[in-house]
A and B are shown apart, each in its own frame.
Chain A
Amino acid sequence: DQQVKQNSPSLSVQEGRISILNCDYTNSMFDYFLWYKKYPAEGPTFLISISSIKDKNEDGRFTVFLNKSAKHLSLHIVPSQPGDSAVYFCAASAEYGNKLVFGAGTILRVKS
């Protein structure tokens, strides 16, 4: 039972353009959502998070949008840079971040 789904296995974007990564969830008890970036042979790196009481959170080039009614969140990266090429994981928690449920990940390739 996949509670967090990232339906796009990969995404290719031109440098300078916007990257939009999507994530859907099924568990209505989730109240905290996070995005992580992962390079090969490294642990995931925390990018940005959002609480269920908000619908948007911004940090530099990264913005996360949450649509609770649709059980959908997205990560926008503007402008995209070649260094952003990595696997992006969406994660959710129903217990204030202490037990994360991860999506399968989306491989982002930013072409220069």
Chain B
Amino acid sequence: KAGVTQTPRYLIKTRGQQVTLSCSPISGHRSVSWYQQTPGQGLQFLFEYFSETQRNKGNFPGRFSGRQFSNSRSEMNVSTLELGDSALYLCASSFSGLGSYEQYFGPGTRLTVT
């Protein structure tokens, strides 16, 4: 089975711009979660989508949003970028069925805001 894929792998944006990141989960996985990793805050949960609905949300401002499509692929959008948004953005997928709660991560998208 192919793993979780994320595109693009690297991105450089200017403060004030917006950005869209994409994630394709493992085939058969219906849950997609997004995480932000920074040196100062570590790995932090952004939100989770299941069957095209946001099921869980972390403590991030409304500038961070996402969506999930009927094929379980997910996108994450950050509007009005700030320097502090520079981070590694990780997507994780899980089957989300009974007894199967492990999340499998993609390689991440490295976002640099200048």
Contacts and interface: CB of A to CB of B under 8 A. Distances in A.
Given A43-B108, A102-B42, A105-B42, A97 B90 contact: no
A43 B101 contact: no
Interface residues of B, number: 25
A93 B33 CA distance: 13
A31 B25 CA distance: 25
Interface in B23-68: 31, 33, 35, 42-45, 48, 50, 55-56, 58
- Residue of A91, A96, A100 most packed against chain B (CB within 10 A): A100
B94 interface: yes
Given A43-B4, A43-B90, A99 B105 contact: no
Contacts of A102: 35, 42-44
Given A43-B90, A104-B42, A98 B33 contact: yes
Contacts of A103: 42
Interface residues of A, number: 24
A41 B9 CA distance: 10
A97 B105 contact: no
Interface of B: 4, 31, 33, 35, 42-45, 48, 50, 55-56, 58, 90, 92, 94, 96, 101-108
Given A34-B102, A98-B55, A100-B92, 12 more contacts: A43-B90, A43-B105, A44-B90, A93-B101, A95-B56, A97-B96, A98-B31, A98-B96, A99-B33, A100-B35, A100-B103, A101-B45
Give the 10 A-B residue pairs with the shortest CB-CB distance, closest first. Answer: A97-B101, A43-B105, A102-B43, A99-B56, A44-B105, A43-B107, A96-B101, A104-B42, A46-B102, A43-B106
